[in-house]
Structure 1
Amino acid sequence: MSIQSAIVLDRLTFAFPGDEPVLDGLTASFAAGRTGLIGANGTGKTTLFRLIAGELTPTSGTLTVAGNAEVGYLPQNLTLRTDAQVADLLGIRPILDALDALEAGDADPAHFDAIGDRWDAGERALARLSAVVGTLGEPGDLRRRVARLSGGETILTALVGLELARTPVVLLDEPTNNLDAAARDRLYALVDGWRGTLLIASHDLDLLERLDATAELRYGALTVYGGPYSAYAEALAVEQEAARQAVRTAEQRVKAEHRSRMEAQTRQARSTRQGRAARDKGDVKVVLDFRQNRAEKSQADDRAMHAAREAAARAGLADAEARVRDDDRLTLTLPDPQVGSGRRLAELRGTDRSVVIAGPERVGLVGPNGVGKTTLLRALVAGEPSHLPADAVALTDRIGYLPQRLDGLRADRTPLQELTARAPHVPDRELRNALASFSLPGPLATRPIGALSGGERFRVALAALLLAEPANQLLVLDEPTNNLDLDTVEALVGALDAYRGGLLVVSHDRAFLRRLGLTRVLELDADGGLTDRDAA
């Protein structure tokens, strides 16, 4: 049975004025159901969403939504629309405004048209909000500003609005960024029961694992794999092993063709020497000339044949190599932070207990949004009181801090200059080699940081932390995977795996935390209490 295509792209091209195309000749389709969209930062996922949502118009090609269905779009910056009301997120503000006008005595027929048959829209929305969001559900909440909502409340409210409106096609762009565990669980529950076509761009593996299909946007091509992310990863592993085997076979063919060409040249050289010897012996010239001309033509044809076969073999090798992914995997040699097992690095002071981070411990700090996790980290790094029930004290002066916003990097510096400032006694050549290991080779190493992509700037910040001299004894990371593509998350995991100091990480990304091999997880509550949780 064929699967209905909900969205069809035919040679779709889009370029912002004066720029190179973001998408160029993209042909693909998304089936009805729930699909995860993955791809490196900068490949055009958000641009594709904006095209599907109708916010942008294709430069050329076509984009078709089955039945011209309405498309709902939740962008990454939804939480920044602080002046909007909850009613706006729910899509019922015109109805509420009309109801208020009627209640005030304004009987304009336009108000009745706005309401239609949805006189109970507010009550239905409040009931669903109460069930899904939990923190909303009172009549006055419908007029609350987005500025007064948490990120989770904002995203979930907008989803409830699309759900109630039964929007046929919905696009979610990184919906779990900055959501705490409880909000993520509520969003997962909504996704599990979603009816209609749902397309989600995300690096959240727990979310991607709940979907029906996985689509990858890579180098301008869109490939759709049946099944969740794990099925995609398994299929990709099989595909890549076949590609690597094809490379090995192609390499052997190149060697064989090269050897054959060299042997042919050796035979030709031997034949030429024999001809010269015959001429020296005084053989009949006209016969020798005839033989030489025939031999030279044959040798030229033979050389051309062998050269063509070797060129074809090399072209085949290049094609095979192009199918093998060279996605970044960091293999690092880092400075030794010299952190013994008993070395005390930091103390977290809750209202009920204090916890000391000692030696190369790997500690995760979790808790609901708004309890002060980021404030606690800043108190630890800056050495100032947190002014919260909980506090943190540094027990070493060698702490590397990666904030949610990479505001510690100077845009006018190059990555090489940034590392030189952090490790002034390390030779220039060593720093260049180190940057190359972070996938920041020659040209990128000397480009202004302000001109780098988000993923590249993140690598600069990470390299500056890990390669500093003297080495940082404690790394403090605040939501490091926000807005990172899966390849960069993989690189981050690899880099941290090579680090031998202490680690304190705040993250709502449970899949990421599981991969870090945490020795303990601490949960901070609103009262400043600290609770040990199972690191698994």
Structure 2
Amino acid sequence: MTSPFTLALHGVGFQLPTGEQLFHDLDESLDERHTGLVGRNGVGKSVRARILAGELAPGAGRCLRQGRVHYLAQHPAARSVAELAGVQALLEALARIEAGGVEAMDFERLDGRWDIRQRLEAELAACGLGYLDTQTPITRLSGGERARVALLGAWLSDADLLILDEPSNHLDRASREALREQLQRWRRGLLLVSHDRLLLEDMQRILELSPDGLRSYAGGYSAYREARRSERDSAQRELQRRKLERERQEHRQASGRRQAREANQAKILVDRQKERSQVSIARQRSQHDERGDQLDAQVREAFAQLREDAEVVLNAPNCELPAQRDLLLEGLRLPFGSAAPLDLQLSGPRRVALDGPNGSGKSTLLKVLAGRLAPSAGTCEVKVRSAYLDQQLAGLRPERSVLQLLQERNRRDDLSSLRTRLARLGLPAARVDLPCGLLSGGERPKAALACELYADEPAQLLLLDEPDSHLDLPSLEALEQVLRQYRGALLVVSHDETFLASLALEFRLETGTGLWSWRPW
């Protein structure tokens, strides 16, 4: 079946203003298959998405585009609901036509979508946003409301291809489930840039972007993970084989040189053989050198692949919490969110997920537990060392580097040890000396967690408000690993069910129905 649109990259490259080559020689075509785009933070996924959407020109190569493409950025710039939904220009054209205008450009832009205003209003009502109108300023919208409105624009676009960059960010669990169902119903082309493993599981193929280029894998996230694991194991075996072959060749060359030195042939025999052997020796030496160069290049190639796949490592602190009462809430009422009173007593290293829709009070409860907000009524007692990581990561002072902040918290380890820990976390030397204000969205959560977990006195209670936001997949898996190893108490807010399911949680504390409910995980 012929694709109704054309979207292809031919030899595309892009260079940052700093002169750094982000990627080069990318060749790829998109079709009706639902495709997920993954890769480490900073590798250029969003840049590639913008090039495909026509919002950014490639530094080299060509992008061929035919058909209607709708691009949803991570942080779309807009002033009103209509602008955020991508229909402001359509509504303005419709208004001019209704006022008697006859400009051909308005009719061309509208392209028969005379009911666009009614469709937008119907979609807003259908997803519980009927209280918004087209000109509502987005400054009045929460992060979740903005994300939902922007997604409405994708469904209204009638595009041949949707390019969605992290669309599940800021969505609560119910909205994420609705997004997944909508994507499953979408029958046209889709490129999904995401770290959401549930969404990626539904894709028909996965594209992985790395400094070495693009690799394509059939199937969803699980198939991609299995294929990558197989590649990594194969690369490890190949690296060992090539290193062993290189060592054997070096041993043979050394043995040959030793035998030549130890040879005690008569001079007449040496003279007779000298002329015959010169050509042979030169040819063998050339062949040995060429084979050695090939082996060196192959070893470097195999090692580079393993280095690219190197795991991000977090070392969980030893902060075991004794089985005693460490958190007590009696008749607690929050200043924002749920108005229901909360009675709660936790003892020992309990692991709890806070669940509920956006605006129900989950973040507010964490702030009260952390002492950042006072309750409007009731008692709140926290009797252990706690650490609160909010969504904005306010503890990362923008003018200080993560290494400086960690040194302030850790006086026991030397500078080299701290650098090593940060490097294993995925923060290399070039980044740990930068002011925190210059770190990427994926680097900041790792930096904040490092400062808490690697402190001289690590927290015995972690209060985490969506710590998985903005993390790439390797970093997300590393975070899951360290939180599983963490032996203190844990209260975590996240809308990613895959993330929560990996943390060995014991209980779920829910709000949003007017009451707090407590149930086993």
Find out whether 1:455 has 2:442 as its counterpart. Answer: yes
Alpha-carbon RMSD across the aligned residues, in angstroms, is: 3.2
Structure 1 match to 2:119: 124
Shift of 1:439: 3.4
Q: Please, which of 403, 420, 425 is the counterpart of residue 438 of structure 1?
A: 425
Structure 1 match to 2:337: none
2:341 and 2:457 map into 1 onto residues whose CA distance is 35
User: Is the contact made by 1:205 and 1:511 (CA closer than 8 Å) also made in structure 2?
Assistant: yes
Shift of 1:47: 1.2
Structure 2 match to 1:532: 518
User: Is the contact made by 1:366 and 1:524 (CA closer than 8 Å) also made in structure 2?
Assistant: yes
2:306 alignment partner, SS class: coil
Shift of 1:119: 4.6
Structure 1 match to 2:336: none
Shift of 1:42: 1.1
Shift of 1:3: 7.6
Residue identity matched to 2:490: L
1:322 and 1:160 map into 2 onto residues whose CA distance is 42
Residue identity matched to 2:53: A
1:323 alignment partner, SS class: helix
Structure 2 match to 1:135: 129
Shift of 1:502: 1.3
User: Is the contact made by 2:162 and 2:191 (CA closer than 8 Å) also made in structure 1?
Assistant: yes
2:444 and 2:386 map into 1 onto residues whose CA distance is 20
Shift of 1:352: 4.9
Query: In structure 2, do the counterparts of structure 1 residues 96 and 17 end up closer, same or farther at CA, with 3 Å as the change threshold?
Result: closer
Residue identity matched to 1:26: L
Structure 2 match to 1:395: 383
Query: In structure 2, do the counterparts of structure 1 residues 390 and 47 end up closer, same or farther at CA, with 3 Å as the change threshold?
Result: farther
Structure 2 match to 1:42: 42
Find out whether 1:23 has 2:55 as its counterpart. Answer: no
Query: In structure 2, do the counterparts of structure 1 residues 4 and 269 end up closer, same or farther at CA, with 3 Å as the change threshold?
Result: farther
CA deviation profile, 1:229-275 (whole Å, cap 9, x unmatched): 1121122222222222222221221222122222222221221xx24
Consecutive unaligned residues of structure 2, counting only runs of 5 or more, are 334-339
Aligned ranges for residues 118-517 of structure 1 at < 5 Å?
118-131=113-126, 133-136=127-130, 141-271=133-263, 274-275=264-265, 289-290=271-272, 305-345=287-327, 347=329, 349=332, 351-382=340-371, 384-387=373-376, 393-396=381-384, 398-517=385-504
User: Is the contact made by 2:147 and 2:170 (CA closer than 8 Å) also made in structure 1?
Assistant: no
User: Is the contact made by 2:173 and 2:357 (CA closer than 8 Å) also made in structure 1?
Assistant: yes
Residue identity matched to 2:463: V
Moved more, 428-437 or 31-40: 428-437
Residue identity matched to 1:85: V
Shift of 1:459: 2.5
2:8 and 2:519 map into 1 onto residues whose CA distance is 46
2:228 alignment partner, SS class: helix
Taking structure 2 as the reference length, the TM-score comes to: 0.87
User: Is the contact made by 2:328 and 2:345 (CA closer than 8 Å) also made in structure 1?
Assistant: yes
Query: In structure 2, do the counterparts of structure 1 residues 220 and 315 end up closer, same or farther at CA, with 3 Å as the change threshold?
Result: closer
User: Is the contact made by 1:215 and 1:225 (CA closer than 8 Å) also made in structure 2?
Assistant: yes
Residue identity matched to 1:84: S
Shift of 1:164: 3.4
Residue identity matched to 2:291: R
Shift of 1:329: 2.6
2:142 and 2:439 map into 1 onto residues whose CA distance is 31
Moved more, 305-314 or 181-190: 305-314
Find out whether 1:10 has 2:10 as its counterpart. Answer: yes
Bigger Rg, which one: 1
Taking structure 1 as the reference length, the TM-score comes to: 0.85
Find out whether 1:85 has 2:115 as its counterpart. Answer: no
2:458 alignment partner, SS class: coil
Shift of 1:93: 6.2
User: Is the contact made by 1:34 and 1:198 (CA closer than 8 Å) also made in structure 2?
Assistant: yes
Moved more, 88-97 or 122-131: 88-97
Consecutive unaligned residues of structure 1, counting only runs of 5 or more, are 279-284
Shift of 1:449: 3.7
Shift of 1:340: 1.4
Shift of 1:219: 1.0
